Structure 1
Amino acid sequence: MRFSSTLCLVLSGSLLGIPALAQPASNSPLYNTVIQKLREGKQVFSFTQVKNDPQAYCEAAKHYDYTWFEMQHSTLEFRDVEAMIAACPHVRAIPMIRLPDAQEWHIQHATDIGALGVIIPTVDDVDRAREAAKWSRYPPVARRSSGNGQARSLWGSNAANYAKTFNDNMLVVVMIETPTGVANAYDIASVPGIDIVIIGNNDLSVFSGFAQDDDRYQAMIRKVHDDTLRAGKIFGQANAIYATGHPLSKDAKFFQNGPAFDGWKPAGVSNTSAPPPGEEDAPGKKPPTKKDK
């Protein structure tokens, strides 16, 4: 069995037969509600925040499981995300950041400003996965260093309290987005400290040259699914249209975007499960449903 920090991932005894996050080894409090929902076998969805707009962020964050702060494909800076998190601390949606890469300073900045999860794109090999895990938690399980930032006041009564509880409340998500990543999926998922593996659906289509309704594309998704579960980790897909009606929907637990838990929709948005602008698949190509398979 693989261990992720002081969190271990075990096969659930539920009828769903999906991996679940086990109880932490310590008695530290759990303030990352996404972890609790994943333990219960629930699907989790986000609102993607791409602009520095504290008012819009604080409103949307009332209605989702977590916020996907987009720093790979936006001009957001860490000071922008820091200000938004500070504008409504302890709002329902857990702050998570998609970073451009797995560099130490990016992950240190993300966690210091209060993120309880990082999402690392285009993970093709074990080396990148190890870098993601290496800087995401405190010793002795990883190498995050102690620094100043608002995180300790947001999530702990003081610096010592935060440092003792953080590891059990952190999530490290890696994205498989290329055929190379698909080929290495089991080794990537098996890296200690990696908690969740998700498909970057649009980029996998672009890099492979296969539309999402192509059987060859679907075979790649299934391989990543099988490898992730075999490694004892949580499987997900960036595109929330895979949350229902797809052969792998019952095992997919982590999504970008998707429905709010209370039915709320932002003004002008009719389909909250649609990919963010710029990440749509080719026109007319839709993932197959169970009826198609």
Structure 2
Amino acid sequence: MRAIRTGWALVLCVSVAAATAAQDGDGVRMYNTAKQKLMRAEGIVGVSISSPDPDSYCAAANAGFDFTWIEMQHSPLTYQDVARMLWACRDASAIPFIRVPDATEGDIQKAVDLGALGIVVPMVRTAEKMERAVRFAKFPPEGRRSLGGGQYGALWGRDYRATANENILIVAMIESPAGVEAVEEIAAVPGVDVVFAASTDLYSFSGRRQGEPEYEAMVDRIRDAVLGAGLKLGGPLAWRDREGFSFFQAPGVGSLIRRGAQALLEETASGIAEIEGSEDQ
């Protein structure tokens, strides 16, 4: 019996120590490791997910990325799909972020209820849109998020209600000249953590290509406004060497599978294993 009591005491001590180590300066337990890393002025990288396959999701979420960028703006993924993916890989090292279809209360409520700790808002052209997004993502008094059902507690702990506001990270995507014109006001919205310069849509909406003076002027204005407001600046992984960027979106899982397969085949003379299924190449 003494051995059992001693064992439980050790478990309790370890648990308390771990919980203490995970708290921030205000005593709030932090479990969004991607946000913690970003706020330490370190760069973070997320992999894009558009497929509902749990195996693919788990492989990507445990590959070493800081977060998963679950794509719900440009994919047919449903919230039920995403809930199952997160639950199937609930111990993954990458933190789940969702790019919601839009900044509606229903979209954001579902995303945070199923356990997303990052909300990426597309097509931001006004500060008002981000004010709404923050309200929908945060519990009172910072926002007006409803407390209802969901798997967030099973994923992140029984103290989720008391800790969610500090752990959820909010990203605003600037994708058009109209968004660039409003970037100073967007970056000033309380609760916004990251402003993301969307490289492809900046070209699509402006007609200007990377490297052209007009395009680069838009990127410079976004950078100056975001860093001047004390926020983090995001962009595609290809921009990792650009000044000021620290939040990066990597290519999608499909692209990574293709590149990995090509690299594997290039390492072999014929592209055929000596023994079918052999990994000893």
TM over 0.5: yes
* Corresponding residue of 1:268: 258
Is contact 1:45-1:259 (8 Å) kept? no
- The aligned counterpart of 1:51 is 51
Counterpart in the other structure of 1:67: 68
Q: Which moved more, 1:178-187 or 1:39-48?
A: 39-48
Q: Tell me the residue number matched to 1:196.
A: 194
Maintained 8 Å contact 2:196/2:233: yes
Letter in 1 for 2:93: R
Q: What residue in structure 2 maps to residue 234 of structure 1?
A: 232
Match of 2:78 in 1: 77
- 1:180 maps to which of 158, 178, 190: 178
Superposed CA offset, 1:49-106 (max 9, x none): 1011100110110121100000000000000000000001131110000011100010
Question: Which runs of 5 or more residues in structure 1 are unaligned?
Answer: 1-22, 272-293
The CA deviation string for residues 222-273 of structure 1, in whole angstroms up to 9 with x for no partner, is 1000001111111111x211002x3x2xx1011111699xxxx9432259xx
RMSD over aligned CA atoms reads 1.9
User: TM-score by structure 1 length?
Assistant: 0.77
More displaced stretch, 24-33 vs 225-234:
24-33
Q: What's 2:28 paired with?
A: 28
More helix by proportion, 1 or 2?
2
Unpaired segments ≥5 residues, structure 2:
1-22, 262-281
Q: 2:265 is matched with which residue?
A: none
Please say if 1:86 is aligned against 2:79. Answer: no
**Partner in structure 1 of residue 41 of structure 2:** 41
How far residue 24 of structure 1 moved from its aligned partner, in angstroms, is 5.2
Percentage of identical aligned residues: 40
How many residues end up aligned between the 2 structures? 237
| Residue 170 (structure 1) aligns with | 168
CA distance in 1, matches of 2:180, 2:24: 30
Q: Deviations over 1:97-120 (max 9, x none)?
A: 001110001000000000001100
Query: For the pair shown, which has the larger CA radius of gyration, 1 or 2?
Result: 2
Q: Is 2:47–2:67's contact at 8 Å kept on the other side of the alignment?
A: yes
Partner of 1:95: 96
- After superposition, the Cα gap between the structure-2 partners of 1:135 and 1:71, relative to the gap in structure 1 and judged at 3 Å, is same
Match 2:240 to one of 217, 238, 243: 243
Paired AA for residue 268 in structure 1: R
Tell me the TM-score normalised to structure 2 length. Answer: 0.81
1:28 match: secondary structure? coil
**Structure 2 equivalent of residue 131 of structure 1:** 132
**AA partner of residue 62 (structure 2):** K
Cα pair 1:97 1:110 within 8 Å, conserved? yes
Counterparts of 1:179 and 1:67, CA distance in 2: 27
- Take 1:24 and 1:142, find their aligned partners in 2: how far apart are those partners? 21
Is the Cα–Cα contact under 8 Å of residues 46 and 67 in structure 2 kept in the other structure? yes
Query: Partners of 1:213 and 1:193 in 2: how far apart?
Result: 32
Amino acid at match of 1:53: D
Task: State the Cα deviation string for residues 173-215 of structure 1 (Å, max 9, x = none).
Answer: 0100111110110100100111100111100111011001211
Partner of 2:266: none
Q: Who is 1:18 aligned against? A: none
CA distance in 1, matches of 2:218, 2:49: 29
1:212 is matched with which residue?
210
Q: What is the CA–CA distance in structure 2 between the aligned matches of 1:204 and 1:259, rounded to whole Å?
A: 20
Larger RCO, structures 1/2 (Cα 8 Å, 6+ apart): 1
Distance 1:25 1:193, change over 3 A: farther
Distance 2:81 2:96 in 1: 13
